[in-house]
Chains A and B, each alone.
Chain A
Amino acid sequence: MIEKSIIIPFLIGLIYLSIIFIYRFTKWIRGLSKLDKLRLMQSLKSRRFMLSLKEIFMEGLLHHKIFLKNPILGYMHMSLAFGWFLLILIGHIEVMCAKNSIFVPFHLAIFFRYFETTKNFAFSGVFSFLMDFLLLFVLSGVCMAMLKRFKKQMFGMKRTTRLKTGDRIALISLWLIFPLRLAAESMSANLHGNGSFLTSTFGNFIGNSGSETANFIFWMLYSFSLGFFFIALPNSRYMHIFTEMLFIFVRNAGIKLKKHNNTFTDIQVYSCSRCGLCLDNCQLATAGINNTQSVYILKNIRNKNLTDEQLFNCLLCGKCEVDCPVGINTIDLRITQRIESTLQYNSSYSYLEDIPAQKADVVYFAGCMTHLTPGIISSMKKIFQMSGENVWFMDEEKAPCCGRPLMQAGQYEAASKLIFNNTKKLLGSNAKKLIVSCPICYKVFKEDYELGKMEIVFHAEYILQLIKDNVIKVNNSNERIIYHDPCELGRTMNMYDEPRSVLQETGKLIPVKNEKQTAWCCGGSLGNLKISQEERTILRNQAVEDYLQYKPDILATACPMCKKTFARHREIKVLDISEIITNSISKPTEEKITKQKTKNKIHENEFV
């Protein structure tokens, strides 16, 4: 009977864990809105179910995304997750073979070598070899994890997350599980000879000092480490192992956060493994800001101690989302959190008037930032002149802001007031096209305005179309151009190619290392309300110094905000796409001649 007692710590841990899981999962699913629940049910019936299962296998077990980013780190995670999974799976098959039955008690596989001392069932040799091999596989991962904790540079990581007490207990018990299993199995192999290459070797190493009591003690310790891990798991970061599965199902069902918190926030928060990959991507660390990165925000939401200082100190550049192995939508999560925290003080903007709209085919909305860069406005005007279209410059004199800066500050209700006012005017103009020259406006027009059939065009797209239609003819000047991807246009709106194709027409576009998905943020972002100007300067210099390595003649950008920020740097010439185009437009030769003729005529007259 006393032999059986070794399963007790393990069993207690497992029962506790199961209760917590069932409680949390039902709470989360019940907390979703009715529509979201319906979506989830529908997705379970369709092909998405198989896709989700595939994703769970690829990400939850194999850690495919981490592999792509960093193979060593990927191997470490895979050996722990996939190795442990196989250990459980093959362990069960082994027990089934040994007992000649499909229904076997589940704990038997975990303590199999303790209870089953003989080696006389089918394929027993193959199984014990496999189990030893898998144990070695997992142990290699554990060794790497320990090494990583103390020497993270070896794994290509600059920073790693700080641990809390709960995490530490879980981490230590997780580290102990597999070495203890090795010790226990080796002890059994020494006594009963039921091991394979690994456990037998270790068993021989122990030699005569092995005894039944020592065997019992080691198996007991193994059981305790498992039990401890299971009890510590719900309050540690390892909660992500199981939450991630639910998260994949929920995300693949198309459920998104809609400007207010619901249990999807909790699911995402608990899915974060705190791997710290977002830390290395975040530029704020360069400026010495080290407590506002996504991983800490997620942790603070979970622990309910999030401060405004942390929440609003983020550029919303979206770099952390790019490499998140779990695929958490950190930007939406943060903006939702901002909306919730500023709910008490929104504005009504009762002073907004309904200024009558002007009928036109095309509306141009410059936006607040473009008004600070008059060069862009004058080039846009020139381009419109050449296109010959009937354009209404909507905010030439006065118009409300587009609403995006308010949204980034979390003032969603206030922003919707501005959106309502602008929408009325836009629809009143009966235009077919809305052209914007600012990515900040572009995003909000695309995502939050309901403009019916009106097409929203970014100025790079518009210029590209004009060049293709031969309305504008440009000269290729062979200048070296680097294109800086604005965060709001690139990572969040996925427009990378249009500005590049425009620039290829006018100069020599140089590819740089940090572009597209991994492009720098200029540091000027409106998303960050807390960062000081000095810190912004550090971020800007970081980007500019990287660009200067390539010795460009011009730094091109498609965002007035980025232009304004870079323009403060003295060593680099920054131009917006529209300015580069108007500079390189080839003037028709006839016009030049006529101008010369008129000049000559004037001179002649003067002589007379």
Chain B
Amino acid sequence: MNDFSYLKPASRQIDFDKFDDRLLLYVLKYELSFATCISCGGCTATCSAGNLTNFNVRKIGLWLRRGETEKLSEEIGKCMFCGKCTLICPRDINIRNVILLIKKRISMLKTEKEMP
């Protein structure tokens, strides 16, 4: 039988009680310029890693805003830090630093979990 599950998508409501803002607040604390992101996707278009694999910088920004920590920790390691995204960003966002901060915060979260 055909799979018609897409006709009944799962709820995409954001539950603010469960909203995980740990990454977002950390990034904004040290790199406020991220707040001006308009998700234009220029970064994704130029991305060297995105050319080799399924990696999307624009989505990283979206997930960061939605607090999707798990997805981020899976994807963030793909970045090669080449800096093209930072150069072409029309809002002059320091994207390399945003990625570095996300990476750092995720590793901090992991060690926090290990130490209850």
B-binding residues in A (CB < 8 A): 308-309, 312, 342, 344-345, 347-349, 351-353, 368-369, 371-372, 397-401, 405-406, 409, 411, 418, 524, 526, 529-534, 564
Contacts and interface: CB of A to CB of B under 8 A. Distances in A.
B103 A345 contact: yes
Report the 7 A-B pairs with minimum CB-CB distance, sorted nearest first. A533-B92, A347-B77, A368-B82, A351-B53, A345-B107, A401-B82, A344-B107
A46 to B, nearest CB: 42
Given A347-B78, A368-B83, A368-B84, A352 B52 contact: yes
Contacts of A351: 52-53, 78
A530 B97 contact: yes
Interface string B97-113: 10010011011000100
A308 B48 contact: no
A398 B80 contact: no
25 contacts: A309-B30, A342-B103, A352-B52, A353-B52, A368-B82, A368-B84, A369-B84, A371-B46, A372-B87, A398-B52, A400-B48, A400-B52, A401-B48, A401-B80, A401-B82, A405-B80, A405-B81, A406-B80, A409-B96, A530-B94, A531-B94, A532-B33, A533-B92, A533-B94, A534-B92
Contacts of B106: 345
B84 A371 contact: yes
B88 interface: yes
B39 interface: no
Contacts of A312: 97, 100
A573 B88 CA distance: 20
B91 to A, nearest CB: 9
A347 B94 CA distance: 20
Interface in B52-107: 52-53, 77-84, 87-88, 92, 94, 96-97, 100, 103-104, 106-107
A368 B84 CA distance: 7
Nearest to B79: A347
B110 to A, nearest CB: 8
Given A347-B78, A526-B96, 14 more contacts: A309-B30, A312-B100, A345-B104, A351-B52, A352-B52, A372-B84, A372-B88, A397-B51, A401-B48, A401-B49, A401-B82, A526-B83, A532-B92, A532-B94
Contact of A405 (B30, B46, B52, B82): B82
A380 to B, nearest CB: 18
Contacts of A344: 104, 107, 111
Q: Which size class do B's interface residues fall under? A: 20 to 34
A401 B81 contact: yes
Contacts of A400: 48, 52, 80
A344 B103 CA distance: 9
Contact of B100 (A349, A529, A531): A529
Contacts of B100: 312, 342, 409, 529
Contacts of A371: 46, 48, 84
A188 B51 CA distance: 83
Contacts of A529: 94, 96-97, 100
A372 B85 CA distance: 10
Contacts of A530: 30, 94, 97
A372 B46 contact: yes
A418 B80 contact: yes
A97 B87 CA distance: 73
A156 to B, nearest CB: 35
